[in-house]
């Protein structure tokens, strides 16, 4: 893929995606969205991919928001289309078959906080800051922030963040459940890769179905319990489950094949 706004590195079965607009604190623009859409569409069903890390270039920001200059003159119709496209791309990330981890190395504000929340897990550096400051511009979140923030930290805390536009620290984000772990300074990617290497040793079909089931909890069109018994039956009948059971009995590491 030829998108200078997104640096893509692959190490075996794990990708590292780096938003590459450090001069703009990695603000999301149309080209960044194009690159993210291309990647997560291209590899959506590629089971050889076991994990993805998303981070930002430079030391100051993961993603410090959306590029306001691109849409400040949009009318209501154009704004709704922009928001809908961003939501659709973030749904691709949220529904990706393999774990996607946000390695938050600085500011994750507005669209950056929304991008981090669309990932399955979040590792924050000690200097990370999170916020949805859209009200400061007379706006509301456009890429799912008003919905996912409630899912992670609850209505009361989310309402305050959304209404005040205030940022919270990495420590506060950890206490509130917005992030999973805090790394050492500069260690966000290493900790993310360590977590992905742990996860990829598990059954790949089970990982894929687990991601889907967790998403089903928030999907009003689905009955999560019904989806669970279906997916339990599906995984129980798989070769991976047979291998996992044999390996457990034989006290050895399983050799999963994803089938």
What was the pLDDT predicted at 72? 87
Q: Within this chain, do residues 188 and 222 fall inside the same structural domain, yes or no? A: no
Q: Within this chain, do residues 55 and 179 fall inside the same structural domain, yes or no? A: yes
Q: Does a structural domain hold residue 128?
A: yes
What was the pLDDT predicted at 149? 98
Note the pLDDT tens digit of each residue in 21-48.
Answer: 999 999 999 999 999 999 999 999 899 9
Q: Within this chain, do residues 101 and 177 fall inside the same structural domain, yes or no? A: yes
What was the pLDDT predicted at 29? 96
- Number of domains, the chain: 2
Give kind and range of the element (H or E) at residue 56: strand 51-56
What was the pLDDT predicted at 171? 98
Residue appearing with tokens 């849409």: 71
Q: Does a structural domain hold residue 63?
A: yes
What was the pLDDT predicted at 1? 65
DSSP, residue by residue, 58-106: SSSEEE--B-HHHHTT--HHHHHHHHHHHHHHHHHHHT-SS-EEEEE-S
What was the pLDDT predicted at 249? 94
Please list the active-site residues. 114, 134
Q: Within this chain, do residues 122 and 188 fall inside the same structural domain, yes or no? A: yes
Structure tokens belonging to residue 53: 């890390």
What was the pLDDT predicted at 257? 87
Structural domain boundaries enclosing 220: 204-249
Which of 6, 11, 78, 9 shows the shortest CA–CA distance to 37? Answer: 6
What was the pLDDT predicted at 2? 78
Q: Does a structural domain hold residue 220?
A: yes
Q: Within this chain, do residues 91 and 142 fall inside the same structural domain, yes or no? A: yes
Q: Does a structural domain hold residue 209?
A: yes
Q: Report the predicted TM-score, pTM, of the whole model to 2 decimal places.
A: 0.95
Q: Within this chain, do residues 169 and 215 fall inside the same structural domain, yes or no? A: no
Residues lower than pLDDT 50 in the chain: none
């Amino acid at each position: 893929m030829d998108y200078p706004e997104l640096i893509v590195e692959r190490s075996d079965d794990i990708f590292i995606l780096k938003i590459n607009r450090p001069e703009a604190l990695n603000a999301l623009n149309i080209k960044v969205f194009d690159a993210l859409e291309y990647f997560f569409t291209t590899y959506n069903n590629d089971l050889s991919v076991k994990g993805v890390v998303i981070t930002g270039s430079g030391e100051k920001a993961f993603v410090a928001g959306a590029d306001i200059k691109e849409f400040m003159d949009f009318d209501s119709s154009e704004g709704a289309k922009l928001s809908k496209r961003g939501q659709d791309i973030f749904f691709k990330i949220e529904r990706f078959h393999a774990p996607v981890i946000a390695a938050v190395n600085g500011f994750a504000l507005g669209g950056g906080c929304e991008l981090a929340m669309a990932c399955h897990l979040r590792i924050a550096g000690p200097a990370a800051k999170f916020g949805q400051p859209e009200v400061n511009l007379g706006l509301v979140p456009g890429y799912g922030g008003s919905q996912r923030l409630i899912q992670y930290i609850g209505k009361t805390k989310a309402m305050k963040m959304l209404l005040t536009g205030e940022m919270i620290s990495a420590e506060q984000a950890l206490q509130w459940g917005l992030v999973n772990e805090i790394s050492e300074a500069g260690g966000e990617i290493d900790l993310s890769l360590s977590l992905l290497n742990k996860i990829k040793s598990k059954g790949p079909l089970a990982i894929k179905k687990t991601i889907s089931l967790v998403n089903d909890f928030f999907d009003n069109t689905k009955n999560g319990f019904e989806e669970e018994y279906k997916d339990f039956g599906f995984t129980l009948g798989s070769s991976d489950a047979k291998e996992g059971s044999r390996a457990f009995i034989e006290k050895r590491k399983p050799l999963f094949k994803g089938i």
